[in-house]
Structure 1
Amino acid sequence: MTATHPLDAAEVASAGKAPRTERGRRTLRAILDAAAEEFGEKGFHEGSISGITRRAGVALGSFYTYFDSKDAVFRALVRDMSEQVKEHVGPAIRAAQGQIEAERAGLLHFIKFARAHKEIYRIIDEAEFVDPESFRMHYATTAERIHTRLRAAAARGEIRGDISEVHAWAIMGMNVFLGLRYSVWADEEDAEDIADTIASMLARGIAAD
């Protein structure tokens, strides 16, 4: 997994261990990508630092240059993956015409991201027990981004005026489980059709006409 817009190195590395050179940033990126593969395949408890460095093609000492422990790289990875999702779906949301189309675009690109990075589900789910703070932050910040754009759309008169945090969490929860069903469990369904179905539901609800 390669991030095109990774978190700033100072935000990812352990305290006082941020890389100072481009080579160092590339090494840190390789370690994070390798950690995603290691934890995605084996889980946190079975995954190992030696497994991460072997996948990254770096020496064991290079790991400790940037991270204090396996827990530290896992925490960094959860934040990094959350950022990758934001960076992947954000441009499509911003380019959409109208809020329903924006939510459709967000779901569509999230499904595509999850199909390419299925390990995100295992890693985020394990974070609930390995690092509850990162787990909670991942979902809280995602819901807040949705809530912010919904409030802006309501102010523009594009959607109902009584929009609330509940609506944001409902949309996020729907997207998370659609990604699980149609990206991780099976990915043969057309992602455009899934996004169309949800956009129609958001626009018209499910009550009989």
Structure 2
Amino acid sequence: MVEPVENSVRSGSAKTPRTRRGEKTRAKILDAARQEFGARGFGESSIVGITQRAKVALGTFYTYFDSKEEVFAALVKDMSEQVRDHVAPALADAKGTIDAERRALAAFLTFAREKKEVYRIIDEAEFVDPEGFEAHYRATAARIAERLESDDVEPAIDALDAEVRAWAIMGMNVFLGLRFSVWGDEEAGKVAASANRLIAEGLKPR
């Protein structure tokens, strides 16, 4: 069944759902797109493949997206927001900034293990959706930088130092996720604790 056009409204190039039903249908299409792009890559994926996975009519897809490129860009944004939303609750009971980073990494490792496709999709975004690719990493680094602005960590020397710290931690987290969530299944808490010791103590002999 094709959803009526009034269930969505244009916002820029995207079509934003206007009803709860429309939101659920759009989310279902995005989830199917995650599976399709994650399994086949952008080049080999198709809109038909996405609609078949979502079990919706082709016309329903076009109620929300105009092209494969548009749904891919929406998916990159959606997955970036999912990472943010998955990590946020883990920070609620953190005992200081260092502990918050341990909790954030453990939560991210769990997310990446459950949705391994995120790595392939984000990697391809560098070429398919470069603006979304950059926005994802800038937003992630900004959240880390904000957490590091705390009284219980050594103050950054300057703005550049603060940004280097945030991007270094993010880079570490990305590759730890690749190794221990996509390529392995080691306990997320132990991996995060080990990385956390590196952040807190560095590489100097004890």
Report the TM-score when normalising by structure 1.
0.89
Counterparts of 1:93 and 1:10 in 2: how far apart (Å)?
35
Identity %: 57
Shift of the 16–51 alpha-carbon distance from structure 1 to 2, 3 Å rule, reads closer
* Cα distance, 1:143–1:52 mapped onto 2, change above 3 Å: same
* 1:70 correspondence with 2:64: no
What are the residue-to-residue correspondences of 1:183-194 with 2, within 5 Å?
183-187=181-185, 189-194=186-191
C-alpha distance in 2 between matches for 1:141 and 1:10 = 26
CA change 1:15–1:164 in 2 (3 A) is: same
For residue 192 of structure 1, report the CA deviation from its aligned partner: 1.2
Unaligned residue ranges in structure 2 (runs of 5+): 1-7
Aligned residue number for residue 135 of structure 1: 133
Q: Match of 2:195?
A: 198
TM-score, normalized by length of structure 2? Answer: 0.91
Instruction: Please list the CA deviations of residues 108-165 of structure 1 after superposition, one character each: whole Å capped at 9, or x if unmatched.
Output: 00000000000000000000011111101110110011111111x1xx2x00012510
Q: 1:165 aligns with which of 137, 158, 163?
A: 163
Is the CA contact 2:141–2:167 (under 8 Å) kept in the aligned structure 1? yes
Deviation at 1:30, TM superposition (A): 0.5
Secondary structure of the 1:17 match is strand
Offset of residue 10 of structure 1: 7.6
Q: Which amino acid aligns with 2:203?
A: I
* Residues 107 and 195, structure 1, Cα contact 8 Å, conserved in 2: yes
What count of residue pairs does the alignment treat as equivalent? 195
Question: C-alpha distance in 2, partners of 1:94/1:174?
Answer: 22
> Aligned pair in 2 of structure 1 residues 10, 132: CA closer, same or farther (>3 Å)?
farther
In structure 1, what is the equivalent of residue 39 of structure 2?
41
SS of corresponding position for 2:16: coil
Letter of the structure 2 residue corresponding to residue 144 of structure 1 = A
Question: Mean Cα displacement is larger for which, 198-207 or 25-34?
Answer: 198-207
Q: What is the distance in 2 between the residues matched to 1:16 and 1:179?
A: 31
How much is the aligned-residue C-alpha RMSD, in angstroms?
A: 1.6
